[in-house]
Copies of this chain bind each other. A is one copy, B any other.
Amino acid sequence: MESASPPDRPVGRGAKVRAAVHAATLAELVDNGYAALTVEAVAARAGVHKTTVYRRWKDRESLVVDALAGQAAADVPVPDTGSVEGDLRALARSLVAMVTGGSGPALLAAMFSGGAGLPEIAEARQQVFGDRLRRARPVVTRAVERGELPAGTDPGELLRTLAAPIYFRLLMTAEPVDAATADQAVRVALAAARAGALTCIHT
């Protein structure tokens, strides 16, 4: 997002405005959904002028994409427990906590109903997942270095395999999603990875 501040810039007035506008955007999404979200309402909620928002984000679509992507990055710390099983369990459990707790369900609903078919929301989903996958890659590369997983194990494939059953239950079958779901996702992803079923094949 060229119009947004880089995530590693020093915390100052700019970063504070960005955080406030992001929080206001997510709150508006949760309260009113994507279709009803306006830059005016976000600005009012964040306590800034509308022009301040437009100086940083070119339109409401960029704002929503950036806020969702920022949220995703903030919410999933990358674990380093010393074992691939511990790391994957921490990742899966934090994903479950995020999608089931706090404003997670409302944000997920905003991403999947109303605006689900809109290109900008599809782009937000892709950014969110692309970002999470990139951030979590070290979990897999460290596991390969430690000899816990076969050489050539594809971090993206493994992390998709980990996340897929959690979202499948949430979105498709509406079955309960809890720590047991997370742990079962880890079992499956690890078994597949150890058997060499998650080595790079899509290249």
Task: Give A contacts to B, CB under 8 Å.
Answer: 109, 112-117, 122, 125-126, 129-130, 157, 160-161, 163-165, 167-169, 171-174, 180, 184, 187-188, 190-192, 194-198, 201-202
Contacts and interface: CB of A to CB of B under 8 A. Distances in A.
6 contacts: A113-B116, A125-B171, A126-B173, A160-B169, A161-B165, A171-B171
A146 to B, nearest CB: 20
Nearest to A119: B174
B202 A191 contact: no
A190 B191 CA distance: 10
B116 A112 contact: yes
From A115, A188, A198, residue with most partner B Cβ within 10 Å? A188
Nearest to A184: B201
Instruction: Tell me the number of copies of this protein.
Output: 2
B114 A114 contact: yes
Contacts of A129: 172-173
Contacts of A117: 109, 112-113
A201 to B, nearest CB: 6
Contact of A197 (B160, B169, B180, B191): B191
A164 B167 CA distance: 8
Nearest to A173: B129
> A-B pairs with the 9 shortest C-beta distances?
A113-B116, A191-B195, A164-B168, A191-B197, A164-B164, A187-B197, A188-B192, A191-B192, A113-B117
